[in-house]
Amino acid sequence: MSRTILLIEDNEQNRYLTTFLLEQHGHRVVSAPDGLRGIELARTLVPHLILLDIQLPTMDGYAVAQALRGIDSLRDIPIIAVTSYAMTGDREKALAAGCNGYIEKPINPDTFVAEIERFIPSQTPPPGSP
């Protein structure tokens, strides 16, 4: 079943690989190159899932996650941090900022889609969609 996934990622190669893997499994991927555009798109799309890089220009992923959690229509949308930040405490910091999950980069192409699909809600439209 096709789901809309918002990918907030500034690295073009990472966007390409993630999009390719998800589209191969029937998902629709919309991407944003920075946090501000990501927040804007999230409001408009109300996606089923948000994949969020932490190391973004202008506004880091922690601030983006907190901003997304402050928007009523997005409050229940799963946010997964996909990041190269893998030091002690980084996972906890991402979860404390409002993320539901944490996947380290580089991603494993063999397991990535299965890892994120377990966070996608089973209902057809996401909460707050028309």
Reported as a single tens digit per residue, the pLDDT across 5-62 is 999 999 999 999 999 999 999 999 999 999 999 999 999 999 999 999 999 998 999 9
Q: Distance between CA atoms of 56 and 44, rounded to whole angstroms?
A: 21
* 115 pLDDT higher than 60: yes
Residue 103's nearest CA partner among 120, 126, 79 is: 79
* 114 pLDDT higher than 60: yes
Beta strand 4-8 with 101-104 is unpaired
Give the model's pLDDT for residue 128. 53
Cβ neighbours of 109 (radius 10 Å): 12
Residue 78's nearest CA partner among 121, 111, 34 is: 121
Instruction: Note whether 85 and 54 are within 8 A (CB).
Output: yes
What is the 3-state composition of the chain as percent helix, strand, coil, each rounded to the nearest 5?
A: 40, 20, 45
